[in-house]
């Protein structure tokens, strides 16, 4: 299984770049009342929101962003909101941890912005190391489908339908001391197919909800080693329904261009 998976993931550079549904397709904003969000329109099938406070994935969904608020519509009070059904929710709080050879640990990461490279986005983080210093992490997320990796026989083996929406997250790390590692806590539920060469500490956790109930989530830790500073996480999801149509546009002469405004501050 592992050789097949590694061979499939090696095809990632040849994955076609999806048509981005808007321009700019990467921008910073307050989203769903949460500050410091980087929104990424990978395709009309998948949008992502990253939490720039903890450098983790906040949400993956099908739909888009409704641009409300003073910056976008001159209306005070509302803020941009994500619109459409979720594929995956993120994890609250710090998600990155560094462990040295002697067992010392440190958690937390700092957002260092993003770059656009060959029509893909590369997210930049610095993860704190025990005793001082940082490791630099680059993450490239992309919208994918099973046929980008597997032939018909392999898709049947994994019970994956052609056209199933998927998310590939590719990571690389620099600056790790010898025999140290970085781990990223990730959600591994809510999917119909999961592929990752290096996952550890698979676990089930309970999270209190606002209504007083408790939700159960399956988590794992993706691993980046000093000796193997690259890792991938490939998830496939059940297709989601089309989101409801966006509200009607404002009257001519009253619009504020959301694309230009939302692009400001991408590296703050």
User: pLDDT digits over 84-131, tens only?
Assistant: 999 999 998 999 999 999 999 999 999 999 999 999 999 999 999 998
**Which of 36, 92, 45 shows the shortest CA–CA distance to 64?**
45
Strands 181-187 and 166-174: unpaired
**Radius of gyration in angstroms for the set of CA atoms belonging to the chain, rounded to a whole number:** 19
Element spanning 6, H or E: helix 2-9
Q: How far apart are CA 167 and CA 29, in angstroms?
A: 22
Question: What's the confidence (pLDDT) of residue 107?
Answer: 94
Token reading at 257? 């261009």
Question: What's the confidence (pLDDT) of residue 212?
Answer: 82
Token reading at 259? 């694309």
Token reading at 50? 């990253």
Confidence of residue 249 (pLDDT cuts 50, 70, 90): very low
What is the percent of the chain with per-residue pLDDT over 70, rounded to a whole number?
82
Confidence of residue 5 (pLDDT cuts 50, 70, 90): low
Averaged pLDDT, 237-250: 73
Question: What's the confidence (pLDDT) of residue 197?
Answer: 86
Greatest alpha-carbon pair distance for the chain in Å reads 64
Averaged pLDDT, 167-186: 96
Element spanning 109, H or E: strand 109-117
**Backbone φ, ψ for residue 262 (5° rounding):** -70, -25
Averaged pLDDT, 206-231: 89
Length, in residues, of the chain = 268
Averaged pLDDT, 49-77: 80
Averaged pLDDT, 30-56: 96
Identify the DSSP state of 95.
Answer: -
- Indicate whether 78 pLDDT > 60: no
Question: What's the confidence (pLDDT) of residue 71?
Answer: 52
Question: What's the confidence (pLDDT) of residue 216?
Answer: 87
Question: What's the confidence (pLDDT) of residue 75?
Answer: 52
Tens digits of residue pLDDT in 160-171: 999 999 999 999
Averaged pLDDT, 55-74: 80
- Indicate whether 44 pLDDT > 70: yes
Mean pLDDT score of the chain, rounded to an integer? 86
Token reading at 232? 């991938």
Q: How far apart are CA 41 and CA 68, in angstroms?
A: 17
**Distance between alpha carbon 139 and the CA centroid of its chain, in Å?**
9
Query: Which sign, positive or negative, has the C-alpha torsion 140, 145, 151, 153?
Result: positive
**Backbone φ, ψ for residue 158 (5° rounding):** -90, 5
């Amino acid at each position: 299984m592992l050789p097949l998976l590694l061979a499939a993931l090696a095809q990632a550079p040849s994955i076609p770049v999806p048509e981005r549904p808007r321009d700019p397709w990467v921008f910073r904003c307050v989203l769903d009342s949460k500050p410091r969000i980087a929104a990424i329109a990978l395709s009309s099938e998948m949008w992502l929101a990253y939490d720039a406070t903890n450098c983790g994935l906040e949400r993956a969904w099908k739909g888009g962003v409704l641009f409300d608020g003073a910056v976008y519509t001159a209306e005070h009070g509302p803020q941009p909101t994500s619109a459409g059904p979720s594929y995956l929710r993120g994890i609250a709080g710090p998600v990155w941890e560094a462990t040295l050879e002697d067992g010392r640990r440190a958690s937390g990461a700092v957002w260092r912005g993003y770059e656009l490279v060959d029509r893909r986005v590369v997210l930049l983080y610095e993860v704190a190391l025990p005793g001082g210093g940082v490791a630099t992490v680059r993450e490239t997320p992309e919208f994918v489908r099973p046929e980008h990796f597997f032939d018909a026989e392999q898709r049947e083996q994994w019970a994956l339908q052609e056209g199933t929406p998927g998310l590939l997250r590719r990571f690389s790390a620099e600056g790790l001391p010898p025999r140290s590692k970085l781990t990223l806590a990730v959600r591994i539920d809510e999917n119909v197919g999961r592929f990752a060469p290096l996952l550890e500490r698979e676990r089930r956790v309970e999270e209190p909800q606002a209504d007083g109930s408790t939700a159960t989530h399956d988590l794992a830790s993706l691993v980046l080693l000093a000796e193997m500073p690259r890792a991938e996480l490939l998830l496939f999801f059940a297709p989601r329904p089309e989101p409801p149509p966006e509200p009607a546009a404002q009257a001519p002469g009253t619009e504020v261009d959301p694309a230009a405004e939302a692009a400001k501050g991408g590296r703050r």
